[in-house]
Structure 1
Amino acid sequence: MKLLPFGIPLVLLSLAVASPSQQHAAPIQQMPFSPVLDLTSLDRTVDPCNDFYAFSCGGWKKNNPIPADQASWSVYGKLTDENQQFLWGILETDSKLKNRNAIQQKVGDAFGACMDTERINKRGIDPLRPELASIAAIKDRAALDRAIDRLDREAQGTFFSNAGGDQDPSDSNSVIATVGAGGLGLPDRDYYTKTDKRSVEIRAKYVEYISQLFTLAGEPAAQAATDAADVLRIETALANASLTRVERRDPYKSFHKMSVADLTALNPSIDWKAFFVARGHANLATVNVEQPVFQKAVDTELKTEPLEALKSYLRFHLLTAAAPSLSAPFETASFEFFSHYLRGTQQPPPRWKRCVRTVDRTLGEALGQEFVARTFAAETKAKTLIMTQQIETVMGDEIEHLDWMSPETKKEALRKLHAVRNKIGYPDTWRDYSSLTIQPGDFFGNTLRSTIFESRRNWAKIGKPVDRNEWGMTPPTVNAYFNPQMNDINFPSGVLQPPLYDPKADDAPNYGNTGSTIGHELTHAFDDEGRQFNAEGNLKDWWTKEDAKGFEDRINCLRDQFATYTIVDDIHINSKLTSGEDVADLGGTLIAYIAWKHQIENQRLKPLDGFTPDQRFFIGFAQWACENDREANLRVSAITNPHSPGFARINGIVTNMPDFATAFGCKVGQPMVKANVCKVW
């Protein structure tokens, strides 16, 4: 992905992207325009050969302080905000229309129910009382097992929070059952295992948050403190058995196909046959158990922990998952810990942003139809497709001329490249939400029913052919991604807008910005993780040993370089975590530059705005990454984010591109010129 990956905790989805002046903003009816190369974002006091990121983004950083309701602020974030304001206008209209179609009814009523804070606050914790009573009534381990099953079906974040249907790693045309690891309330397992002062403090604050939710639910303070300590103890045991983020970059570490009987032997405390029967799969033959060691740990916890402690664990995860959909005290508690304390956000977002994001998350392809019809021109899709095809052609040429790869491996690499599918703008077929009930005035119920709808839709895929037309992002999303098992690159319409892409602007900054994004996603097919999947999207080694070593040697050059960059204080980039994105940044920018040169080879271009065409390409490349970050958020990102900070994603790349030094007249010895450049593709 170009920016943030999926996997952000549910509570953080309530974070909005806004500037202080927009706290009381009105919905917009037309998207604003920002140039794809913004001269006001420059800092001309900086020598681009000393710090190209500061030169390209210094003005932007000065002019765009972090909004009070944000942990960070960026060019992508600002465009996301503009998209949200536009969606707000759509939803305000749809919520009030008298004669509505089915899509307008669902998105309009979902938005209206979310905005009805008076009704939400009046209900308080009432929406959870039936489930809390069920947990309180648990008298034995068998009843506990049934409760875990029930909560998982409602996606309430217990032990198996990412179980469901997924592509078979060994047969990408098939969907099989997958049982993953979950059950942690903090952003990453490292928060439980690290012993430094900051990590110890975070765990203490986390226990306070857990206790706060229990007291809000009616527990006496002393009992809440005891129960909170039980929850932390259980989660710590699960964290110690979980793979690290770096380990999860190796797809083989998450691929353990086995029978239901084998899974039962690993974790007999769960009635797995009943678990799968309840999801419509009584005769399930095979399941991928992503983390067998984790399953053993779950079994140990279910057998050895006191029943009351396990009930506290279930009760907390029910409360924390539901908190953003409950009354103000619960929502505030969630914000104060996850957003304010962990990430430094100063204040909650305005309600309209919370509700726009909720509708986008739960009814994304319904709302997406409304967005696409108003914003995405056919010209944009056509020109983006041409750019994508040009970049794929360049990638093929680069592969053919690699001096470190054997003909045998090149053949498979080219076969994979030519099999990549390009998905631009929005799905060919929209998702059918007709079976999902959205009711006016029932925010919690709408959210729960949407979650169950998506869970059932996912489980229903098992045993059926893979739908290769399905998307993993909604159309308004300002992001892009590569899916190694689908072997496709995906660019939602939300990311194909100014200032990231403008079909009316000159090609140089467009290729530098969106072209490098296209190249970035394409290069993910050949990064340290993506390269392990073949043309069909199957997990299969198609490399010779010598070629695999040659690849690792070359990405180690980048790992060594990026490990020298400091994120905050003495915390350096974990380049083993970020290497996939770093490789994609370098390869994507290189092939976008070559594709742009092919595009203009018969043109005599003159400087614009005082910059040569080559300089405009590189400034366009740099300005997508302009950002400001709070210190607390940088600390979270250092642990959880597979992307390097913006300054490293720009300076770390151009120092490996001699064409940049030529464009700006940089000399040997200046910071943006490396003696030995890294090159993978």
Structure 2
Amino acid sequence: MKRSALFVALLLATTACSKPAGTDTTTQAKAKATASGIDTAGIDTSVKPGDDFDQYANGAWRAKTTIPADRASTGVFLDVFNIAERRNAQVIGDAAKANAAAGSDQRRIADFYNAFLDTDAIEQRGLAPIKPELAAIAAISDKTVLAKMLGSDLRADVDPLNASNFHTEHLFGLFVTQDFTHPDTEVPYLLQGGLGMPERDYYLSAKPEMAKIRTAYVAYLTRIFTLAGMSDPAARAQRVMALETKIATAHLDNISSQDPEKANNPWARADFAKKAPGLDWAAFFGAAGLGGQQTFIVWQPAATAGLAKLVASEPLAAWQDWLTFHHINAVTSVLPKAFDQASFEFNGHTLSGTPAQRPRDKRGIAAVNAYLGDAVGQIYAKRFFPASSKADIQGMVKNILAAFDTRVAALDWMAPATKAEARRKIATMRVGIGYPESWRDYSALEIKADDPVGNIQRARLAEYHHQLGKLGKAPDKGEWWMTPQTVNAVNLPLQNALNFPAAILEAPFYDPHRDAAANYGAIGAVIGHEISHSFDNTGALFDATGKLRNWWTPADFAHFKQQGAALVAQYDAYEALPGLHVNGRQTLGENIADVAGLTAAYEAYHASLGGKPAPVIGGMTGDQRLFLAYAQNWRAKERDAALRSGIATDGHAPARFRAQTVRNLDAWYPAFKVQPGQKLYLAPDKRVHVW
């Protein structure tokens, strides 16, 4: 479950979930759940499981559930997120009361949070905290100075295997990890960026809903320039929109950006001037602190060349307007209310359909977690994640890994050589449970109680320097990309590793007091999902060391791709809104992980019974409880705007279609007496197993 420097409470892609969902109904749901671990009150018995398993498992819940005004969606994931948020509030509140010594992490937490909440002081300062930056942008005199400004803005962002585009204030994004083909060395990956909207289709699509969003974006640009007191704000907005449209045209699409083989483009420093002329790369890299770096991997070479060309071809005034907007846009949350509200109206309301902004205190909690995540996480893990839970989850992981290994060993279509490589990946997979083995050192990060803008900027810069500090060194295979208080999980193909933060290991995902079938159907399927990402259409391209290497026989890989194509077709057929279908190719990796992960969880559950029959609880068999727990993991209700945004940008299918994954497992059919002619029924030879 991504990230991401952009990892806040939840992340995108190569993950078990895609975004926050759910109201705080956990206590209510637990009260209604029986010893079976299933929320029986949420089931819609008027629907046949074989016609719509999601509606059967969750229809009654959905009918009586309202999406909160400050949320784009509601469902189980936000139930669990709200538990973590309340605990984070305790950690931050205690830090604020502690009057801790200057320079301590507790003091940093308190000062960051208090500065974020002091809206009176924020109003009084106005734009003063960023006036020097805006003056520097206005003073840019030529393209070399522009290159230096663009380089000084470079920051380290999320794993591109989890988020392919960098739609931030940076023209490029930087990711530091081991080399694709030399896994003993950390290198910089350069990625496309520069967009203020989520991705290229928002600029280029002819769909009417995208055209409306473009109109709203220009209005937002105009509003920001107006609030900043800039001359001719409408003309500036049009210049930024025109420039970003050209940037979007240069961008590689989402699906192509997911392919690491297309991304493996080593460039020497000298290559940039030849392959991507137009940008003064010496000035850019010098300002970025990369003047001595001689090797890079360029994720999207055509886009890199296109962006460099735009630096040369587009007027300096357009770049100055673009920089001005993005420098303001990056910190609207800690600028006067008019800026903050304008940002929410576009980014929250227009893009996601959310009617109301989240309360300031909760946004402050999210901000502290985003920029001081390990400082909070170290306390969180100690207080809220008992050793007994860690041991229990480790046991489940061991069982699910064993089930996956047993399944691979028994595959009749895979050659012995391919099996050996796959099983080596399983045997050497590094699984982090709860929290990392080492914590981030914030001692060099200055946090001030009266400088919320500077706090965010210095924290971003500190993260960038932390990432640069890894260059040329041996990779830390135990590195975590999520904090313990993150309600998510992630697979890291380059590390052959998994992270399961403490915050997701909560009911209804995991409850040590309930029946094993529900735990295996819920958190077990999440664990299986993350394990399976090592063998999805991206993960399967990396070997046990994290090296990008084809370890498949041609016949085996052809079979694997054939199964993937069948899953693409299955998801392409799902209609999220009238005329709006799921993109099966874009969501393939997550869909493979769902199918394979649920299969592994199911088989691990049966292995855990030790040959004994599963008990019947609440009138439900073990298989029924497991499949229902899985479907209830994905209970969700989402605003149409958020759903459209997800279809356009997210690597995950909408939650309700993920619940229908069960139709690919043979065991689901007898468990719920699913018959031919029912809508979800697939003939045995049409069920996609992949692994």
Matched residue, 1:48: 49
Identity of aligned residues (%): 35
- How many angstroms does 1:571 deviate by? 0.8
Separation (CA, whole Å) in 2 of partners of 1:595 and 1:531: 22
Given the alignment, which residue of 398, 401, 408 partners 2:407?
Answer: 398
Given the alignment, which residue of 628, 632, 640 partners 1:631?
Answer: 640
Separation (CA, whole Å) in 2 of partners of 1:488 and 1:92: 34
Matched residue, 1:37: 38
**Quick one: structure 1 residues 21 and 127, their matched pair in 2 at CA, closer, same or farther if it must change by over 3 Å?**
farther
Matched residue, 2:193: 182
Note if 1:202 corresponds to 2:210: no
| 8 Å CA contact retained: 2:123, 2:336 | yes
**Quick one: structure 1 residues 458 and 160, their matched pair in 2 at CA, closer, same or farther if it must change by over 3 Å?**
farther
- How many angstroms does 1:612 deviate by? 1.5
Separation (CA, whole Å) in 2 of partners of 1:121 and 1:519: 49
Note if 1:509 corresponds to 2:511: no
**Stretches of structure 2 lacking an aligned partner (at least 5 in a row):** 12-18, 158-166
Q: How does 1:167-566 map to 2 (within 5 A)?
A: 167-220=178-231, 223-566=232-575
| 8 Å CA contact retained: 2:7, 2:482 | no
Separation (CA, whole Å) in 2 of partners of 1:8 and 1:16: 14
Residue by residue, what CA displacement relative to the aligned partner does 1:92-136 show, whole Å, maximum 9, x if unpaired?
221121345922111122111111111112211111100001111
Given the alignment, which residue of 115, 118, 122 partners 1:116?
Answer: 118
Partner secondary structure for residue 73 of structure 1: strand
- How many angstroms does 1:62 deviate by? 2.7
Separation (CA, whole Å) in 2 of partners of 1:61 and 1:644: 18
Separation (CA, whole Å) in 2 of partners of 1:189 and 1:324: 25
| 8 Å CA contact retained: 1:513, 1:624 | yes
| 8 Å CA contact retained: 2:279, 2:312 | no
Separation (CA, whole Å) in 2 of partners of 1:164 and 1:514: 30
Residue by residue, what CA displacement relative to the aligned partner does 1:405-461 show, whole Å, maximum 9, x if unpaired?
111211111111211111110001111111111111221111111111101111111
**Stretches of structure 1 lacking an aligned partner (at least 5 in a row):** 23-27
2:69 partner letter:
A
Note if 1:647 corresponds to 2:656: yes
| 8 Å CA contact retained: 1:148, 1:158 | no
Separation (CA, whole Å) in 2 of partners of 1:20 and 1:211: 37
Given the alignment, which residue of 128, 136, 139 partners 1:137?
Answer: 139
| 8 Å CA contact retained: 2:380, 2:485 | yes
**Quick one: structure 1 residues 543 and 497, their matched pair in 2 at CA, closer, same or farther if it must change by over 3 Å?**
same
Matched residue, 2:160: none
The answer to which of 573-582 and 365-374 deviates more is 365-374
Matched residue, 1:657: 665
1:680 partner letter:
V
**Quick one: structure 1 residues 364 and 141, their matched pair in 2 at CA, closer, same or farther if it must change by over 3 Å?**
same
Separation (CA, whole Å) in 1 of partners of 2:283 and 2:187: 17
Partner secondary structure for residue 648 of structure 1: helix
TM-score, normalisation: structure 1:
0.94
RMSD (Å) for aligned C-alpha atoms = 2.4
Separation (CA, whole Å) in 1 of partners of 2:355 and 2:10: 14
Partner secondary structure for residue 186 of structure 2: strand
Matched residue, 2:689: 679
The answer to which of 412-421 and 262-271 deviates more is 262-271
Partner secondary structure for residue 176 of structure 1: strand
Q: How does 1:576-591 map to 2 (within 5 A)?
A: 576-591=585-600
Note if 1:72 corresponds to 2:73: yes
Separation (CA, whole Å) in 1 of partners of 2:31 and 2:369: 23
Residue by residue, what CA displacement relative to the aligned partner does 1:450-488 show, whole Å, maximum 9, x if unpaired?
111101111111111111221111111111110100111
2:662 partner letter:
V
1:141 partner letter:
K
Separation (CA, whole Å) in 1 of partners of 2:528 and 2:676: 28
Separation (CA, whole Å) in 2 of partners of 1:11 and 1:632: 21
- How many angstroms does 1:18 deviate by? 8.0
Matched residue, 2:16: none
Residue by residue, what CA displacement relative to the aligned partner does 1:170-226 show, whole Å, maximum 9, x if unpaired?
122211122211000110111111112222221121111111111111023xx1111
Partner secondary structure for residue 152 of structure 1: coil
- How many angstroms does 1:153 deviate by? 5.4
1:52 partner letter:
F
Separation (CA, whole Å) in 2 of partners of 1:9 and 1:315: 25
Residue by residue, what CA displacement relative to the aligned partner does 1:329-354 show, whole Å, maximum 9, x if unpaired?
11111100011011100000001110
- How many angstroms does 1:11 deviate by? 13
Separation (CA, whole Å) in 2 of partners of 1:359 and 1:592: 35
Q: How does 1:97-116 map to 2 (within 5 A)?
A: 97-99=98-100, 102-116=104-118
Partner secondary structure for residue 144 of structure 2: helix
The answer to which of 308-317 and 571-580 deviates more is 308-317
Separation (CA, whole Å) in 1 of partners of 2:9 and 2:422: 40
**Quick one: structure 1 residues 654 and 139, their matched pair in 2 at CA, closer, same or farther if it must change by over 3 Å?**
same
Partner secondary structure for residue 424 of structure 1: strand
Matched residue, 1:25: none
2:344 partner letter:
F
1:210 partner letter:
L
- How many angstroms does 1:279 deviate by? 4.6
The number of residues matched between the two structures is 668
| 8 Å CA contact retained: 1:213, 1:316 | yes
The answer to which of 520-529 and 147-156 deviates more is 147-156
1:671 partner letter:
K
Separation (CA, whole Å) in 2 of partners of 1:164 and 1:506: 42
Partner secondary structure for residue 431 of structure 2: strand
Separation (CA, whole Å) in 1 of partners of 2:48 and 2:115: 53
Separation (CA, whole Å) in 2 of partners of 1:325 and 1:530: 39
**Quick one: structure 1 residues 145 and 274, their matched pair in 2 at CA, closer, same or farther if it must change by over 3 Å?**
closer
Separation (CA, whole Å) in 1 of partners of 2:312 and 2:141: 14
Matched residue, 2:164: none
**Quick one: structure 1 residues 436 and 514, their matched pair in 2 at CA, closer, same or farther if it must change by over 3 Å?**
same
- How many angstroms does 1:604 deviate by? 4.4
Residue by residue, what CA displacement relative to the aligned partner does 1:365-388 show, whole Å, maximum 9, x if unpaired?
110111112210111111111111
TM-score, normalisation: structure 2:
0.92
Separation (CA, whole Å) in 1 of partners of 2:105 and 2:444: 12
Separation (CA, whole Å) in 2 of partners of 1:12 and 1:309: 34
1:656 partner letter:
N
- How many angstroms does 1:32 deviate by? 9.2
| 8 Å CA contact retained: 2:50, 2:672 | yes
Partner secondary structure for residue 506 of structure 2: coil
Separation (CA, whole Å) in 1 of partners of 2:145 and 2:9: 28
Separation (CA, whole Å) in 2 of partners of 1:233 and 1:326: 26
- How many angstroms does 1:164 deviate by? 4.6
1:381 partner letter:
K
2:493 partner letter:
P
**Quick one: structure 1 residues 247 and 296, their matched pair in 2 at CA, closer, same or farther if it must change by over 3 Å?**
same
**Quick one: structure 1 residues 660 and 500, their matched pair in 2 at CA, closer, same or farther if it must change by over 3 Å?**
same
Separation (CA, whole Å) in 1 of partners of 2:663 and 2:155: 49
**Quick one: structure 1 residues 8 and 577, their matched pair in 2 at CA, closer, same or farther if it must change by over 3 Å?**
farther
